[in-house]
Amino acid sequence: MNEQQITDAFEEFISKRYMDELGKVVNLGLPALIIDFCELDLFDPTLTDMLVENPKNTLSMFERAAKNIEIAEDSEFQIRFTNFPEDRIIKIRDIRSANIGKLIAIEGLIRQASDVRPVATMAVFECPACGTQIEIIQNEQLMKEPAMCSCGRKGRFKMLEKKLVDTQRIVVEESTENIGGESQPRRLGCFLTEDLVEPKIEKKTAPGTRVTVIGIVRELPIIERGGSKTTRFDLIMEANNIDASEHEYEELDIKPEDVSLIKEMAANPEIYTKLTNSIAPSIYGYEGIKESIALQMFGGVQTKRPDHTKVRGDIHILLVGDPGVAKSQLLKYVSAISPKARYVSGKGASGAGITASVIKDEFLRGWSLEAGALVLANHGICCIDEIDKMEKDDRVAMHEAMEQQTVTISKANIHSTLKSETTILAAANPKLGRFDPYQPIGSQIDMPPTLLSRFDLIFAIRDMPNKDNDEKLASHILESFRKPEALVPEIAPELMKKYIAYAKKFCHPKLTNESIEELKNFFVGLRSKRTSDSDEKVQPIPLTARQLEAMVRLAQASARVRLSEVVTRVDSQRAINMMKMYLQKLGMDSETGELDIDKIVTGITSTQRNRIIVIKELLRELESKYGNNIPIADLIDAAKSKDIDESKIEEIIDRMKREGELFEPKHGIIRRMPK
């Protein structure tokens, strides 16, 4: 086909199929006419072949053809294409030099997005000698001037005007689902221009968004520091169109036979046992923890309220335990079988790498917003190993991401809020090597109480010698070396991925009256327990509203496993049992034998808080007798009369010194810090 035949064919296509859309573009002054690629392919496959093979010239002919139609003669708009067939979508890692200059489509997550900056596409120069005006198309990074005028003059031309186009650079990273997590995801820089960077569209291209980009692959020369070009080239894409996709699990090809198999599994009364046995079968035991992780992968349902507030549906779990109890193996396995997962290690993870960061953009010379692991794992799971090894400043960045499920950045001149609706499975090691059940968990892993309280479940994994258990453990490990192929999960990893994806996409269970009653009775019953001298002492708080919300999420996840649209009493009981397992191991006050959530959340039990109150009262009494300087020996004697052990008194005095409430002006004397 020659140029005129192509123009005529495309003009005929628009006249038959897109006259209404063209009328809207002209009448409303829209910047682009969006054409379905598949419709054009059905009309004339030759046109789509030419568009793919020689997109630049074919697109210019298409635009001329559209403007030949009477109603569009004086209008300015672009031709953009959408709905590329799946067989024409290329993985970023598969792009080669043969694709340069071709129109292709890629899929992935936006990892980085720059500021919008104007770029000159054409400049007009005037010759100072003869006044001739020369147009130069600008298609490189440096401004090009005319080499010579027709009158023979060289150099020092005056720029009269230039045509500027708004440009934004995004970096698209291929999805981890496509590569299975075995290698580093590849990236490709894409340039968006004109209407693709309008404010309405720019909101849809924030880092962490899943997109399909249609565009032309170009080569970009690599320039050395001295300014000379090398023989090596970078690949970039000039975007023709970009579609933001909200479908998180579209890469998983769930066939009708998979759906029937998933429904059959969900109807099996033994499904919870099968799921538990399918998580890290090479690791012996931990049935309760594995079942909790299974529910975590299915997740609860996010609740949106009329006042625009949201309650997260994602379940956060923290594993704390002795070295060598396979915490990292559990995390690795979960990151491999989850439909959308990221694995990071605390030693190599910064706050910027976990949440988001602002970096210099090397192309447009502005600032770029780059998404971290929690943003990239939006609607997925993020496994953070050795979370206790992260720097304190970096952990602070996680507070907002865990509860509000957003990441707010206000740096350089970028103010943005990114989504991070991400489930977190974290692991930590105690500071002294072994976990001590008598010490508050916060003091053992050096994490702030505010961050600890955001975890729905915290499990302590202890390596305790036990002959019967050790024999089973040794047999399991040694047998796994002799016959590694025997440790096959009951549900295959690929089927597990599809099962989770299907449940999260189509199942949104709601609470029933029976399930609400069960949870309420447990919550109220536990909080209403009273000790004999309850009026005189600070009462232990067994659990708070935050734990109640956690149980709701667990109950919803339990219903989701069965693909049920309602949460039953049995689901609530399963959630209560998991909460009991968590609280009895970590929230039990060893002195009173009562549940006290403050031991986990603040590190101070109600018993310790009562002692601190008594000590403060005694300090005030002794001040009236001795003045500001109080002998420590007299304070200890007074506290002993209140049945407080001497070691506990010294511990409280040391704590109050660290917190700046007391100081020791000289040996054996303490004084309260003036307010």
Instruction: Give the confidence band of 249 by pLDDT, cuts at 50, 70, 90.
Output: very low
Q: How far apart are CA 269 and CA 282, in angstroms?
A: 24
Give the model's pLDDT for residue 534: 45
Strand 32-36 relative to strand 78-82, pairing: parallel
One-letter amino acid at 303 equals T
| Neighbouring C-beta atoms of residue 46, cutoff 10 Å | 13
pLDDT at residue 535, rounded to an integer: 46
* Structural domains present in the chain: 3-83 (3.30.1640.10), 88-245 (2.40.50.140), 256-506 (3.40.50.300), 510-596 (1.10.8), 606-672 (1.10.10.10)
For range 650-664, the mean pLDDT: 76
For 617-634, what is the mean pLDDT? 78
Going 314 to 315 to 316 to 322, the CA torsion angle's sign is negative
Query: What SS3 class is residue 85?
Result: coil
- pLDDT tens, position by position, 255-293: 888 888 888 888 888 888 888 888 887 777 778 888 898
CA-CA distance, 374 to 352, in Å (whole number)? Answer: 10
Flag the least confident range among 55-64, 301-310, 594-603.
Answer: 594-603
DSSP-based three-state secondary structure for 418? strand
Q: How many CA atoms lie within 13 A of 413 on its CB side?
A: 5
Average pLDDT, the chain: 78
Give the range among 151-155, 168-172, 365-369, 447-451 with minimum mean pLDDT.
365-369
**Amino acid found at 34:** I
What pLDDT band is residue 541 in, cutting at 50, 70 and 90? low
Q: Nearest 5°: CA angle at 427, between 445 and 437?
A: 45
Euclidean distance between CA atoms 522 and 531, whole angstroms: 18
Distance CA 319, CA 592 (A): 26
Strand 317-321 with 457-461, pairing = parallel
| SS3 assignment, position 202 | helix
Pick the most confident of 205-209, 347-351, 392-396. 205-209
Amino acid symbol at 631: P
Angle at CA 71, nearest 5°, toward 67 and 75? 50
DSSP conformational letter for 383: E
The burial of 428, by beta-carbon neighbours within 10 Å (0-12 exposed, 13-18 middle, 19 or more buried), is given as buried
Bridge partner list, 32: 78
> Which region holds residue 202: left if phi is over 0, alpha if psi is between -120 and 50, else beta?
alpha
Q: Which of helix, strand or coil describes residue 405?
A: coil
Question: Hunting for tokens 């090691």 — which residue is that?
Answer: 429
Q: Is the pTM of this model over 0.75?
A: no
Alpha-carbon distance of 538 to 604, in angstroms, equals 12
Residue 194 binned pLDDT confidence (cut-offs 50, 70, 90): confident
User: How much is the pLDDT for 391?
Assistant: 76
User: In this structure, what token pair is assigned to residue 438?
Assistant: 């008598």
Structure tokens at 219: 């080569």
pLDDT for the residue 211: 85
Higher pLDDT among residues 671 and 360, named by residue: 671
| DSSP states along 598-641 | HHHHTS--HHHHHHHHHHHHHHHHHHHHH-S-EEHHHHHHHHHT
What is the torsion angle, in degrees rounded to the nearest 10, for the CA atoms of residue 46, residue 50, residue 53 and residue 55? -150
Indicate whether 463 pLDDT > 50: yes
- Residue 609 pLDDT class (50, 70, 90 cuts): low
| 101: Cβ contacts below 8 Å, ≥ 6 apart | 54, 55, 56, 216, 217, 218
The answer to whether the CB of 315 falls within 8 A of the CB of 300 is yes
pLDDT at position 594 over 70: no
Q: How far apart are CA 426 and CA 182, in angstroms?
A: 21
Q: What percent of the chain lies above the pLDDT cut of 90? A: 3
Report whether 589 contacts 540 (CB < 8 A).
yes
pLDDT band at 557 (very low <50, low <70, confident <90, very high): very high
**Residue 345, pLDDT score:** 81
Question: Could you tell me the pLDDT band of residue 556, with boundaries at 50, 70 and 90?
Answer: very high
